[in-house]
């Protein structure tokens, strides 16, 4: 019979391709046993049942084939909260927290704000905006109905009744009068596709990744729609690929000639966000 300790050792050996084999094995085991980390430490000589061991081995096999751990366990962290994820949504990335932080810093102290999260996926940005900006009215849109269902579950979990969810091609289903538009749209260019990890390109939804030939197709479409809907004094925040800062800033200046357009870098010094302040 395999104990919790032996199961973790087995997991680490199976997941040697991963940069974090011990953590991955532990998360899978916690999921199978429906127990937390403290329990695994305190009961490491407890045996797994036959069914638990079979379920664990099956997840290890999928993880060894590069299926991302959040898809296997059904959740991922973002801004200190736990978000439900499925294969229909992008796994929330820590880099995107910077966009939320810029948005909430800008909106804090402002009276009433109407905000839109474009391409909401799991709803991680919209939910975090709802928590950071209690006075804001927030609408989140996505083209994918399946993604909207996951976003709805996350809204119910973390910000009930704070976020309206609308199926929409970018902003087309929304009217004017927005103060804040936040968008982490697909921005992977065609030529970058071969460089993506197997875990990303085989398991994350193409609709969440592929930004057309140069990666900027969706952003190019969004900007005129945003220009029609943003109120004076408003802010647009676009997450971008690390080589897209100059190109997106130039597009932003075309559609918002009077705005202050800036490119913000992430902690690694790579272009990450374009901000348009009108
Ligand atoms: C990069 S993911 C971002 C998901 C989430 N906002 C996040 O930051 O983790 C992009 C999202 O945009 C959605 N999307 C793609 N094309 C769209 C379109 N034309 N209109 C609305 N949403 C779209 C995808 O379904 C996906 O959920």
The finding on whether 208 has its CB within 6 A of some atom of ligand 1 is yes
Which domains does the chain carry?
A: 4-65 (1.10.8.10), 75-277 (3.40.50.150)
pTM of the model: 0.96
Between 1 and 206, where is the model more confident? Answer: 206
Q: Residue 96 Cα, ligand 1 centroid: separation in angstroms?
A: 13
CB 125 near ligand 1, within 6 Å = yes
Q: In degrees, to the nearest 5, what angle opens at C-alpha 163 toward C-alphas 157 and 166?
A: 115
Q: Whose Cα sits closest to atom 6 in ligand 1?
A: 120
Q: Is the CB of 128 under 6 A from ligand 1?
A: no
Decide if 273 contacts 239 (C-beta within 8 A): yes
78 pLDDT higher than 90: yes
Centroid of ligand 1 to alpha carbon of 262 (angstroms): 23
For residue range 112-126, list pLDDT tens digits in order. Answer: 999 999 999 999 999
Q: 52 alpha carbon to ligand 1 midpoint, in Å?
A: 35
Cα–chain-centroid distance for residue 266? 16
Q: Is the CB of 171 under 6 A from ligand 1?
A: no
Contacts of 58 (CB under 8 A, 6+ apart): none
Percent of the chain residues past pLDDT 90, beyond the cut? 97
The pLDDT confidence band at residue 267, using thresholds 50, 70 and 90, is: confident
Question: pLDDT tens, 126-137?
Answer: 999 999 999 999
Confidence band of 51 (pLDDT split at 50, 70, 90): very high
User: Is 4 in contact with 11 (CB distance < 8 Å)?
Assistant: no
pLDDT band at 175 (very low <50, low <70, confident <90, very high): very high
Nearest-atom index, ligand 1, CA of 91: 9
92, 66 Cβ separation under 8 angstroms:
no
Q: Are 203 and 87 in contact (CB under 8 A)?
A: yes
What confidence score (pLDDT) does residue 1 get? 78
CB-facing half-sphere around the CA of 244: CA atoms within 13 A: 24
Q: Which pLDDT value is given to residue 137?
A: 97
The gap between the terminal CA atoms of the chain, to the nearest Å, is 65
Q: What is the pLDDT of residues 182-236, one digit of tens each?
A: 999 999 999 999 999 999 999 999 999 999 999 999 999 999 999 999 999 999 9
219 lines ligand 1 (CB under 6 A): no
Please tell me the residue having the least CA distance from ligand 1 atom 13.
119
141 CB under 6 A from ligand 1? yes
Task: State the closest ligand 1 atom to the C-alpha of 121, by its place in the atom list counted from 1.
Answer: 27
**Residue 53 Cα, ligand 1 centroid: separation in angstroms?**
36
> Average pLDDT over the chain, rounded to whole?
97
What distance in angstroms lies between residue 90's CA and the mean position of ligand 1's atoms? 8
221 CA to middle of ligand 1, Å? Answer: 13
Q: Cα(10) to centroid of ligand 1, in Å?
A: 37
Number of the ligand 1 atom closest to the C-alpha atom of 239: 8
């Amino acid at each position: 019979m395999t104990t919790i300790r032996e199961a973790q050792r087995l997991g680490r050996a199976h997941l040697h391709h991963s940069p974090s084999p011990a953590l991955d094995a532990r998360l899978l085991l916690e999921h199978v046993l429906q127990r937390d980390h403290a329990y695994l430490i305190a009961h490491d000589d407890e045996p797994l049942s036959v069914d638990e061991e079979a379920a664990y081995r099956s997840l290890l096999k999928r993880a060894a084939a590069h299926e991302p751990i959040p898809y296997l366990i059904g959740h991922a962290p973002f801004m200190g909260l736990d978000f439900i994820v499925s294969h229909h949504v992008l796994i929330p990335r820590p880099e995107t927290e910077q966009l939320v932080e810029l948005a909430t810093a800008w909106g804090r102290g402002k009276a009433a704000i109407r905000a839109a999260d474009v391409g909401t996926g799991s709803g991680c940005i919209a939910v975090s905006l709802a928590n950071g900006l209690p006075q804001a009215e927030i609408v989140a849109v996505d083209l994918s109905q399946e993604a909207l269902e996951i976003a709805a579950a996350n809204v119910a979990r973390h910000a009930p009744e704070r976020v309206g969810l609308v199926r929409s091609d970018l902003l087309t289903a929304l009217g004017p009068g927005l103060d804040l538009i936040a968008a982490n749209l697909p921005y992977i260019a065609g030529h970058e596709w071969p460089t993506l990890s197997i875990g990303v390109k085989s398991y994350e939804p193409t609709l969440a990744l592929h930004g057309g030939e140069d990666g900027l197709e969706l952003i190019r479409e969004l900007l005129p729609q945003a220009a029609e809907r943003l109120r004076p004094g408003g802010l647009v925040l676009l997450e971008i690929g690390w080589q897209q800062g100059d190109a997106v800033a130039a597009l932003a200046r075309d559609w918002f000639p009077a705005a202050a357009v800036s490119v913000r870098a992430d902690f690694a010094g790579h272009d990450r966000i374009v901000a348009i302040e009108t």
